[in-house]
């Protein structure tokens, strides 16, 4: 039997609460008063806390409910391509609105006087003062998700912002403006670089703590027992609220408010499926016990991706072969390498995915974005910035961005690494001196990474040219190395041939020398032998001993002239002994 219960739950899920949602906002009454008091004491306040603690809801819903339009002019600013431009754009837009009211009023009172023209402003200080003089309402600049200036912005953007904040002279009495910076607490360390420049950065801070168990029960019971227009009554079985809290409590004893909203939506959908003709929503213990999820956000993401995939692939069946996970790949493009969200247009996502091996069409991407941003999914926000008027999309919450980041596949990781590598290398190549440019070409390993991970034919002109230059550089280098290697081998062969020829010649020369020395030795020995023989005869004749000794000395001098001949060593030794004997005599 068909149910009469609407298919879409009334819960906020990933969206923050707004001022008009104050009747559905529970558990933060004390923090709202404390935040209001803290803001009354200072013109600057840093609001920080962990992701999922409800910082944006506390300001947009809780804090706003404490003011009347006569007490403050809240201007909520989100970063587009930087932070300063949207601040100026939104302030100037308010200025033009108030100026138009002023001009109409002046036309009524002084119809004969010429109509005034709006001014233009070179700095934020003059613009804020002009806006206040037209409205006489204090201006509250609320810079939400300020951590994006660190996750997405450059060092130059950060320096320019804090310099502009310094030049604002916020604490001067002639400036009726207060600034609230809202950031995730893990990014507070980035502010320390500017503490000396702006000492007040850490003087006034407000930390949004995670909810205590009793607060969570207030949120659960309040959310499930409030009347919602166009939705049936909720009935909660006693004890079901405690079971819900227990199911969602992590190992540290904490419950994430975003996860709670997603979980309540899951219970709504599950009960709708079993309700049949029942006219109310029943949250009982069996329903809660059957939904003990290990990861609520992962379950929510997989269900929404499956629903969107089924719908868009029916409309574009030809793209199914390119990859069943293309809708999830589209969500990947909206998450940074640090796991935080970043807004993108359909055209930007299309250009980015064209670099991959499986590239969907722009209409397919737009269809997926529309579905993910639709009321059934509520995964994406639609954004529109004043300067460009282009429609942009972002993941609704950092918790979901973290979950999408955890599902990055190896292909996406390689694609991002390849894109980052070639872009960074091209930047360094352009900045390098002419003599150093060769060192900044892509390495062989980087060329392989880009070639395997990206469709290089779809690279933008500058990247494609740099890729080809890098490849040609290494090809030429390899050719030079081959020529050098061939030359070295040839030189080695020639040298070896010369060495062999020289060795043979040396061997022949040695043989000739040995033969010559042997001949010389034989001649000298014969001559010395003859002298020694005659000396021996004379020495035996006692009439001529002196002549015999003289002949021995002559033979010794003869052999000394040929001392370097190795063939004569034995004879020299014998003659040296005789010569020594004669000398002793």
Q: How confident is the model at residue 443 (pLDDT cuts 50, 70, 90)?
A: confident
Structure-token pair, residue 585: 């005599």
Give one word for 23, left, alpha or beta, with left for phi > 0 and alpha for psi -120 to 50.
alpha
Q: Is 221 helix (H, G, I), strand (E, B) or coil?
A: helix
Q: 170-180 b/e with 16+ CB inside 10 Å = b? A: beeeebbbbbb
Q: Is 24 helix (H, G, I), strand (E, B) or coil?
A: helix
Q: Over the stretch 409-423, which tens digit does the pLDDT of each residue have?
A: 777 788 878 888 888
Show Cβ contacts of residue 176 under 8 Å, excluding neighbours closer than 6 positions.
Answer: 128, 132, 138, 139
CB 168 within 8 A of CB 160: no
Cα Rg of the chain (Å, integer): 46
Q: What is the pLDDT of residue 241?
A: 93
CB 320 within 8 A of CB 313: yes
Q: pTM here?
A: 0.75
CB 297 within 8 A of CB 263: no
Q: What is the pLDDT of residue 544?
A: 46
Structure-token pair, residue 560: 């000394």
Q: What is the pLDDT of residue 547?
A: 59
Burial class (CB within 10 angstroms; exposed 0-12, middle 13-18, buried 19+) of 556? buried
Please name the residue ranges forming H helices in 355-409: 362-372, 398-406
C-alpha to C-alpha distance for 213 and 347, rounded to whole angstroms = 45
Q: Over the stretch 129-138, which tens digit does the pLDDT of each residue have?
A: 999 999 999 9
Q: What is the pLDDT of residue 552?
A: 61
Q: What is the pLDDT of residue 358?
A: 73
**Of all residues in the chain, what percent carry a pLDDT higher than 90?**
50
**Which among 360, 356, 358, 379 is positioned nearest to 369, based on CA atoms?**
379
C-alpha to C-alpha distance for 197 and 181, rounded to whole angstroms = 17
Q: Over the stretch 381-402, which tens digit does the pLDDT of each residue have?
A: 998 765 556 789 999 999 899 9
Structure-token pair, residue 292: 């003990």
On the question of pLDDT at 44 being above 50, the answer is yes
Q: Over the stretch 168-179, which tens digit does the pLDDT of each residue have?
A: 999 999 999 999
Q: Which fold has domain 28-207?
A: Rossmann fold (3.40.50)
Structure-token pair, residue 144: 């939400």
CATH class of 297-408: mainly alpha
Q: Over the stretch 298-344, which tens digit does the pLDDT of each residue have?
A: 999 999 999 999 999 999 998 887 777 899 999 999 998 888 898 99
Q: What is the pLDDT of residue 475?
A: 86
Q: What mean pLDDT comes out for the span 442-468?
A: 83
Q: How confident is the model at residue 287 (pLDDT cuts 50, 70, 90)?
A: very high
Q: What mean pLDDT comes out for the span 504-517?
A: 67
Q: What is the pLDDT of residue 432?
A: 84
Q: What is the pLDDT of residue 471?
A: 86
Q: How confident is the model at residue 218 (pLDDT cuts 50, 70, 90)?
A: very high
Q: Is 239 helix (H, G, I), strand (E, B) or coil?
A: coil
Q: What is the pLDDT of residue 1?
A: 46
**Which among 221, 224, 244, 222 is positioned nearest to 232, based on CA atoms?**
224
Through-space distance between the first and last CA atoms of the chain, rounded to whole angstroms: 147
Q: How confident is the model at residue 220 (pLDDT cuts 50, 70, 90)?
A: very high
| Domain residue spans of the chain | 28-207, 213-293, 297-408, 499-584
Q: What is the pLDDT of residue 441?
A: 85
C-alpha to C-alpha distance for 266 and 260, rounded to whole angstroms = 10
Kindly report the average pLDDT of the chain as a whole number: 85
Token pair 């929404």 in the structure block, residue:
304
Of 88 and 458, the structure prediction assigns the larger pLDDT to 88
Q: What is the pLDDT of residue 542?
A: 43
């Amino acid at each position: 039997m068909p149910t009469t219960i609407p298919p879409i739950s009334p819960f906020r899920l990933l969206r923050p609460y707004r001022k008009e949602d104050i009747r559905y906002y529970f558990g933060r009454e004390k923090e709202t008063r404390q935040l209001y008091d803290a803001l009354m004491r200072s013109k600057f306040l840093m609001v920080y806390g962990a992701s999922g603690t409800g910082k944006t809801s506390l300001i947009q819903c809780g804090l706003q409910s404490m003011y009347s339009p006569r007490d403050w002019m809240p201007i909520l600013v989100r970063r587009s391509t930087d932070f300063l431009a949207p601040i100026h754009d939104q302030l100037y837009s308010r200025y033009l609105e108030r100026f138009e009211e002023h001009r109409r009023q002046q036309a009524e009172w002084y119809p004969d006087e010429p109509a005034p023209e709006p001014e233009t402003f070179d700095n934020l200080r003059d613009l804020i003062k002009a806006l206040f003089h037209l409205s006489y309402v204090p201006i509250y600049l609320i810079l939400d998700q300020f951590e994006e200036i660190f996750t997405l912005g450059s060092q130059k953007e950060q320096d320019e912002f804090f310099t502009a904040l310094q030049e604002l002279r916020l604490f001067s009495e002639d400036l009726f403006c207060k600034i609230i910076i809202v950031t995730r607490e893990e990014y507070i360390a980035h502010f320390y670089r500017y503490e000396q420049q702006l000492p007040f950065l850490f003087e006034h801070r407000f930390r949004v703590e995670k909810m205590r168990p009793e607060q969570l029960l207030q949120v659960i019971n309040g959310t499930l027992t409030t009347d919602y227009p166009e939705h049936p009554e909720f009935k909660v079985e006693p004890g079901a609220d405690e079971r819900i809290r227990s199911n969602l409590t992590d190992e540290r004893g904490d419950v994430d408010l975003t996860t709670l909203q997603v979980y309540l939506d899951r219970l709504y959908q599950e009960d709708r499926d079993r309700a049949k003709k029942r006219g109310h929503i029943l949250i009982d213990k069996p329903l809660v016990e059957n939904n003990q999820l290990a990861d609520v956000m992962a379950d929510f993401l997989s269900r929404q991706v499956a629903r969107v995939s089924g719908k868009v692939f029916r409309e574009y069946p030809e793209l199914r072969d390119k990859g069943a996970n293309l809708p999830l790949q589209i969500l990947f493009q909206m998450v940074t390498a640090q796991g935080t969200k970043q807004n993108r247009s359909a055209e930007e996502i299309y250009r980015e995915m064209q670099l991959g091996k499986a590239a969907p069409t722009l209409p397919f991407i737009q269809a997926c974005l529309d579905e993910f941003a639709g009321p059934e999914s509520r995964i994406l926000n639609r954004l529109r910035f004043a300067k460009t008027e282009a429609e942009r999309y972002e993941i609704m919450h950092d918790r979901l961005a973290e979950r999408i980041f955890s599902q990055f596949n190896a292909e996406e990781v390689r694609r991002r690494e390849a894109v980052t590598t070639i872009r960074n290398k091209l930047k360094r190549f352009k900045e390098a001196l002419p003599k150093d440019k060769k060192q900044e070409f892509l390495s062989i390993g980087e060329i392989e990474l880009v070639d395997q991970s990206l469709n290089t034919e779809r690279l933008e002109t500058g990247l494609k040219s740099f890729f080809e230059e890098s490849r040609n550089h290494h090809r030429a280098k390899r050719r030079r190395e081959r020529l050098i290697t061939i030359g070295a081998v040839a030189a080695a062969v020639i040298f070896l041939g010369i060495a062999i020829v020289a060795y043979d010649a040396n061997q022949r020369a040695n043989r000739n020398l040995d033969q010559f020395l042997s001949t010389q030795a034989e001649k000298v020995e014969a001559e010395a032998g003859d002298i020694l023989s005659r000396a021996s005869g004379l020495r035996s004749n006692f009439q001529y001993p002196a002549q015999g000794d003289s002949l021995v000395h002559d033979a010794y001098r003869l052999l000394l002239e040929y001392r370097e001949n190795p063939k004569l060593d034995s004879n020299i030794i014998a003659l040296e002994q005789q010569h020594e004997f004669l000398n002793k005599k």
